[in-house]
Amino acid sequence: MAPVYRPDTDHRAVYLPVGEWIDYWTGDKLKGGRYILAECPLETMPIYMKAGAIVPEGPLLHHADEQADETVTFHIYGAEACEGSKVDYSLYEDDGISFDYQDQAYSRLNVSLTGKGDTLELSYTYAHKQYEANRNLLVFRLHHLVFNVSGVEGLNVLNPDQLQEGMEGWLLDEQSGDLIIQSFDRPAGANWVITAAD
């Protein structure tokens, strides 16, 4: 993020570290290792996501022990279906209120994306599961894909209503172009192959 600290300013210099970056608002891709002049009107804070980043998002909780559906959405930016591309992420969870984690009462969920030329393999597994989150679903939202999706092996295509109802499957969001994969949260994990269109 690149907040603006001076009044009447609608641009600011932002340094992007080496790598490829994606403008959160527009989807524009930018090369890193340099300064850019970022447009920053008052209503829009400049935010840049590293290509390949996985960012988890959970529900808004007012306190640590609030009982709520703990569905996690993994936002994945700029995924590629090319040989050699690989991204891994680990999500650590515990009850947030006790010291039970010291007795191994926590979970660690690993998410992995591996490019294989014309496919992208997405999987999740539990490396440790001694804490049970209050959820039925995991959601994977792939933003600004570098390829066109033709299908997801092993899952049915959903319409927006089915997605809202909590069904398992996949959907290409017509407005954003994002691929959304919705899965039941299985202790054994799951694995899907996303195929690229010709």
How confident is residue 10, by pLDDT bands cut at 50, 70 and 90? confident
How confident is residue 9, by pLDDT bands cut at 50, 70 and 90? confident
Q: Structural domain boundaries of the chain?
A: 11-49, 54-196
Residue pLDDT, tens place only, 36-53:
999 888 788 889 999 999
User: Do the two domains 11-49 and 54-196 of this chain adopt the same fold?
Assistant: yes
- Cα distances from 171 to residues 35, 153, 159, in angstroms, run 36, 13, 7
What pLDDT is recorded for position 113? Answer: 96
**Given this structure, which CATH class describes domain 54-196?**
mainly beta
What pLDDT is recorded for position 70? Answer: 87
For residue 15, give the DSSP letter: E
How confident is residue 22, by pLDDT bands cut at 50, 70 and 90? very high
Residue 64 pLDDT greater than 70, yes or no: no
More confident residue, 59 or 35: 35
DSSP symbols for 37-101 = EEE--TT----EEETT-EEEE----SSTT------EEEEEES---STT-EEEEEEEE--SSSSGG
Classify residue 145 as exposed, middle or buried by CB count within 10 Å of its CB (0-12, 13-18, 19+).
buried
**Cα separation, 73 vs 53, whole angstroms:** 13
What pLDDT is recorded for position 117? Answer: 82
**Whole-number mean pLDDT of the chain?**
91
**pTM, 2 dp:** 0.90
Mean pLDDT of 64-68: 71
What pLDDT is recorded for position 122? Answer: 97
Superfamily of domain covering 11-49: Golgi alpha-mannosidase II (2.60.40.1180)
Residue pLDDT, tens place only, 184-194:
999 999 999 99
What pLDDT is recorded for position 94? Answer: 93
What pLDDT is recorded for position 59? Answer: 85
